[in-house]
Chain A
Amino acid sequence: MSQPLVMTTELTKAWPTLAFGPVSLTIASGEIVALIGENGAGKTTLLNLLTGVVQPQHGQVSFATGHPTFGIVPDTCPFPEELTAREVGQLLATVYPQWHLTTYLKYLDQLRVAATQPLKTLSKGNRAKVVFATALAHDAELLIFDEMTAGLDPLVRQTILQLAQEYVQTHPAAMLMTTHILEDVTQVATRALIMAHGQIVWQQAGPMPSLAALRQQLLRAETEGD
C-alpha cells in the first residue's frame, strides 16, 4: 500500500435517525475507494466528516499533508446557474491557490461542454461535466464523488470515470466515491466498502468481485442489520 493520505479513527456521530460509527478508515495515495450502501446508511455523513462540514462526537480525521485539497463533485451542481462554465473557472481562481484555468478549459473541451453557455442552459450531464472538470483542475489530493454519476448516461459516466482514474494514476492523489451504481464500482474501484446502519460492514481490496457477487454482498449486508 502507498503512503496513507487520510486516516479516520473511531469516528462517531449521533443523528436522530442514525447512530454513525465508530468508523476507522485509511485511504492511501493511488486508491479509488467506492462506498456503497442503501440510502441513509451514513455515506454522506462520512464525506461530511472528512471534509469538516460535520464535526465528529468522538474520534478524529487526520491527513498526511495537514489539510489536503479536495476535488469535490456533489450530486448537484454547486455553482450559480447564471454563470457560464468559463466564469465558474474565473470564480474558482479565488477558491483554490493552485487553480489551473487552462487545464479546466482543456477538460471542458475534451468533454465537449460549451464554456460560454450559462449553466442553466446546459443539460444535467453537461453541468456534471463542468463540476467534474473543476475537481481535476486544482491539484486535488482527494477526489470526492458524492453520487455524481447518478442520472448520467452510460457514455458520459464511462468517460468521467476513465478521466478520474487517469488523474489518480498520474497524480499523488486518491479518490473516494459514493454510488448506487455497482457497475461503476467494478469498473474503476481498487477497494469497495459497504456501509450499513452507520458502519462499514464489509470491504474488499484488489480485484473487484463480479457484479452479481457484489450485489449479493450488498443485499446480505443490508438485511443482516435489520
Chain B
Amino acid sequence: MTALFWRDLLVLKHKLQTKQMLVVGVAFILAIMLNTQLTLVAMIFIPFMLSFSLMTFPFSADTHDSFTVYLLRNGRSVRQLVLARYLFEGAMIGAGTGLGWLGISLKFKRFDWRLLAGLLGLSLVYLVVMVPLCYWFGINGGSMVVFLILLGMIFIRQQPTLIRQAWQQVQRHPGLSGLMIVLGYTLVGTVSAWMACRGFKHRYLF
C-alpha cells in the first residue's frame, strides 16, 4: 500500500513541475486578482480540474498499471492496492475541493463550513463511483470526470425542487441528516470498495 502511495506522490511531484501546471496555477492567481465575471467560475473550476487531472493519471497510463501488476507479482494483496487507490484519490480530491471552496469563500468574503461539507460530500460521491468503474472497465479517469459532471448538471437542472427540499430537510434536522449521510456513505462506500476489489481482480487477475 505504501509503495503505491509513494509511487503516486513521486509521479505527482513530476506532474506539478510541468509547464501546464504552472499555467493553471498562474491562471488561478490571476482569476483571483482580476475579480471579473469569470473569477468565480475560474475559482471553482480550476482547482477542481487541477485535482481531477492529477488524481486520474494512474488510470490513464499503461506504465502505471504495469507497476500495479509488478506489485501483485511481489506479494501485494488486492485489498492493499485498492485501499491505496482510495486513499490517494481521496487525498487529491479533498485538496482540490478545499481549494475550490477557498476560492468561493475569498470571492464572497464568507467562509461557510456547511458548503465545504457539501462539496466534500459531492466529491465522495465522485470517488465511490469512479474507483470501481475505472477498475472494472479500465476507463480513463478524465472521461469519467466529464461524464459525471454532465450527469450532475443534468440532475441539478431536472430536479431543482428535489435538491432544495433535501437541503431544507438537512437544515431542519441537522443531527438526523448527518447520521443518515454517514450511514449512507458507509453503505455506499462498502459496496464501492467491494466492487473496486472485484473490478481489480477482473482487470488484473482474470
Contacts and interface: CB of A to CB of B under 8 A. Distances in A.
B64 A53 contact: no
Given A53-B205, A78-B63, A95 B11 contact: no
Nearest to A54: B206
B173 interface: no
B204 interface: yes
A70 B75 CA distance: 9
Interface string B1-29: 01100110011001100000000000000
B6 A78 contact: no
B4 to A, nearest CB: 9
B136 to A, nearest CB: 18
B195 interface: no
Interface string B47-73: 000000000000001011011011111
A77 B73 contact: no
Contacts of B72: 51-53
A81 B70 contact: no
B81 to A, nearest CB: 12
Given A53-B205, A94-B2, A79 B63 contact: yes
A38 interface: no
Contact of B10 (A51, A78, A80, A95): A80
A74 B14 contact: no
B73 A72 contact: yes
Given A83-B10, A91-B6, A67 B75 contact: yes
A51 B73 contact: yes
Contacts of B15: 82
Interface residues of A, number: 27
Interface residues of B, number: 23
Interface in A51-101: 51-55, 67, 69-70, 72, 74, 76-83, 87, 90-92, 94-96
A11 to B, nearest CB: 15
Contact of A95 (B3, B61, B206): B3
B74 interface: yes
Chain A, interface SS category: loop
B67 A78 contact: yes
A149 B2 CA distance: 30
Given A54-B205, A76-B66, A83-B14, A91 B3 contact: yes
A82 B69 contact: no
From A51, A55, A69, A118, residue with most partner B Cβ within 10 Å: A51
6 interchain residue pairs of minimum CB distance:
A78-B70, A82-B14, A78-B66, A51-B73, A94-B3, A95-B3
Interface of A: 48, 51-55, 67, 69-70, 72, 74, 76-83, 87, 90-92, 94-96, 118
18 contacts: A48-B73, A51-B72, A51-B73, A53-B204, A54-B206, A72-B74, A74-B70, A78-B67, A78-B70, A79-B63, A79-B70, A80-B61, A82-B11, A91-B10, A94-B6, A95-B3, A95-B74, A96-B74
